[in-house]
Structure 1
Amino acid sequence: MSPTRKAAVQLAALSSHDRNWIWKRLESGERDKIKPALDEFLRIPPAALTVELHKMRNASIPSPRVRRSDDSDLASVRLAATKEVVPLVRSLPPASVALLMQVENWRWSEDVLRSLDLPSRNVVKELLARDKSAQNVVLAEWLVVQLAARIRTERSRLGPPDQKFDSLVGIAD
């Protein structure tokens, strides 16, 4: 299955709220590329979509984890300061927060959970308690890439960090 069809089937399997949230954040070229396949998958019955997802996962994904340790986006998210990541992650829908937290044991995960309102925190915890073998790996990897891009954008907007000032006022990760 092509990467475009994989993305489309993953999007089709999401709730309409989560699908619309992601759709708005795709670039127009990405939307144009995915739309025909997405429309196709949205027309098939949910049971058939589940079979398609199962075939795709079993055929092409050896693990529910993103395993590209040399990926600069993954490294960027791993190395980002907690104070950079928490506001960005908490702006995501709870299902996306849970999916992102399943990628690996991020050092900022507990801080993100504490920052969420109680209903969102409960949804995230419930989703994290479920079987991770059904994790949407393509979407999880996309979330890591998007988070890394948002971290870079925020850094460029704010300028270089003043580490001396941060240590003087007690701001730490």
Structure 2
Amino acid sequence: MSDRHAALKLHGMERKDREWILSQLEETERDRLRTYLDELEMLGIPAQPLSFQPMAENAPPVVLATAEPRDICAVFGKEPAWMLVQLLRLRSWPWERELLASLDAKRRSAILDELRQQEGYPLPPELAGTLLRACETRLVDYLRSPVATATPNQPVRKRHPLLNRVLQWLR
């Protein structure tokens, strides 16, 4: 586990527990982790409490939830309809209208029909968590690629600063 990943885990703990764990570490490790913890606080990244609940019941992955609609369309627009249906069933996404609008009318209609048919039948938590993690990974890989930052009319696109910070943390 990287120091950043450990800091994220510590960030989600109760202060008393976090301090106890830090007190058990060597001074250099403790200082390094405190630097990352301070950075998380400074950036205003909310603590995700550690729990044993499936991922689908927790907050959505940060990159997936805050992605630009054009990036979502580029990554998931050509995915099979069944996969898009399952992803859209998990929660209301800020980019879902743009994604659906980017699809041809026949495909969009089929996806919306399937969403209506599956309403009230939640995904099993393990499947939902796996789907979220896979989509998050795929989106992060895309955002790190040169394709995500270049278009024919605009050679380099600037990302939101928060997204850049999150991508740094995920490295």
TM-score (norm 2): 0.50
TM-score (norm 1): 0.49
Q: Which has the higher helix share?
A: 1
